Amino acid sequence: MKKNIFKILIFLILYFLVIAIAQNTLDAFKLRILNLCAIYTILGLSMNLINGFTGQFSLGHAGFMAIGAYTTALLTMKPEVKEQIFYMKPLIYPLNSISMPFLPALLIGGVLAAVVGYLIGAPALKLKGDYLAIATLGFSEIIRVLITNAQSITNGALGIKGIPSYTNLYWSYGLGLITVIFMFKLINCSYGRAFKAIREDEIAAENMGINLFKHKIMAFTIGSFLAGIGGGLLGNLLGTIDPLMFRFFLTFNILLIIVLGGMGSISGTIIAAFVITIAGEALRFLDKEINLIFVRMPGIPGLRMVVFSALLMIVVLFYRNGLLGNEELSWDKIKTFFKNIKKPFNKGGNLHGSVKN
């Protein structure tokens, strides 16, 4: 027991030491990319809980993110800044005079997203498969349209600017670590086993005494809460939000992470969040003019996304269940992976040795 506590303390010290070094040494661009990696990890895990572990095909994540982002932004902004931004139509009371620290605002944003998720999930989770996907996508669009038209609360299509940039590596990676630990604990307890049973066969799960509605709505509500937290972190990282940010394309990006990492894999989601976020930025040079030694290639806008999509298609073709499927990464698997890589070389060495003899 003491050894385990000691290992955990050593890990936490090293974890936050690396974060502190990165926060104080890296430039603004690299810090933003690293923050996005952690935020997309939280969002990917929240969606994987619903789609991957419980087997419910939901496409409403962008709406819950919008609720978290707008709530956190409005609660953390100073009253004088709100007065300047809401010049077309004044912000309603008491939002126009409230200003609170980042953590309580973020939690309120997550709770509000969870409440809306519960209200949406109660009727929508009676549906299955594609019908559930269409229903949740429709609810997400309804949330976005309401945000666009509620000018006295959200500033409408103008969006909100001047949001305090509280999100840094400490917040994003600290909350990311808490989310990962929470997910491992949840999936490995009785509720997690019930989620997986529902995913595999709802009829068999119900015959075993599992309350389908209770567990489905629980997964949906928790996923909505985490989506609200991720949206709040994203809004306070970017400093500006508007309704167009929270279209279906944002949900598609998160869905891409869990499909690539593996539906039902926590470690796969983490790896995919980092790979997709960093790769998307690393390929930006394709949109600009490329100067080779003898050839100059003009920049083609959108080429980055074409190449990025092609690479993802290749990965999906070879790994149909994602990088890790529904399994988790472990030291044994890492060792096995490297042993399999070494086998051809070892065989070649033996072959040369036998020829020599």
**pLDDT tens-digit profile of 155-190?**
999 999 999 999 999 999 999 999 999 999 999 999
Question: What's residue 235's pLDDT?
Answer: 95
Helix (H, G, I), strand (E, B) or coil at 326: coil
Provide the H-helix boundaries in 26-101. 28-48, 61-76, 79-85
Helix (H, G, I), strand (E, B) or coil at 225: helix
In the predicted model, is pLDDT for residue 330 greater than 90?
Answer: no
For the chain, the straight-line distance linking the first and the last C-alpha, in angstroms and rounded, comes to 54
Question: What's residue 326's pLDDT?
Answer: 78
Question: What's residue 352's pLDDT?
Answer: 45
Specify the residue for token string 């800044």: 81
Average pLDDT over residues 141-162: 94
Q: Assign 313 a pLDDT band (cuts: 50, 70, 90).
A: confident
Higher pLDDT, 243 or 339: 243
* Least trusted range by pLDDT, from 65-79, 103-117, 267-281, 286-300: 286-300
Higher pLDDT, 350 or 331: 331
Of residues 42, 3, 25, 11, the one with CA closest to residue 273: 42
In the predicted model, is pLDDT for residue 351 greater than 50?
Answer: no
Sign of CA dihedral 216, 36, 233, 18: positive
Residues pairing with 297 in the sheet: 290
In the predicted model, is pLDDT for residue 49 greater than 90?
Answer: yes
Q: Assign 316 a pLDDT band (cuts: 50, 70, 90).
A: confident
Average pLDDT over residues 94-114: 95
In the predicted model, is pLDDT for residue 15 greater than 70?
Answer: yes
DSSP string, 51-69: IIIS------HHHHHHHHH
The token pair that represents 161 in the structure block = 């600017």
Q: Alpha-carbon distance 119 to 340, whole Å?
A: 49
Q: Alpha-carbon distance 299 to 281, whole Å?
A: 16
In the predicted model, is pLDDT for residue 347 greater than 60?
Answer: no
Q: Alpha-carbon distance 227 to 71, whole Å?
A: 13
In the predicted model, is pLDDT for residue 281 greater than 60?
Answer: yes
Higher pLDDT, 354 or 57: 57
Q: What is the largest CA-CA distance in the chain?
A: 89
Average pLDDT over residues 91-96: 91
**Mean pLDDT score across all residues of the chain:** 88
In the predicted model, is pLDDT for residue 252 greater than 80?
Answer: yes
Question: What's residue 346's pLDDT?
Answer: 59
Higher pLDDT, 25 or 307: 25
Question: What's residue 28's pLDDT?
Answer: 93
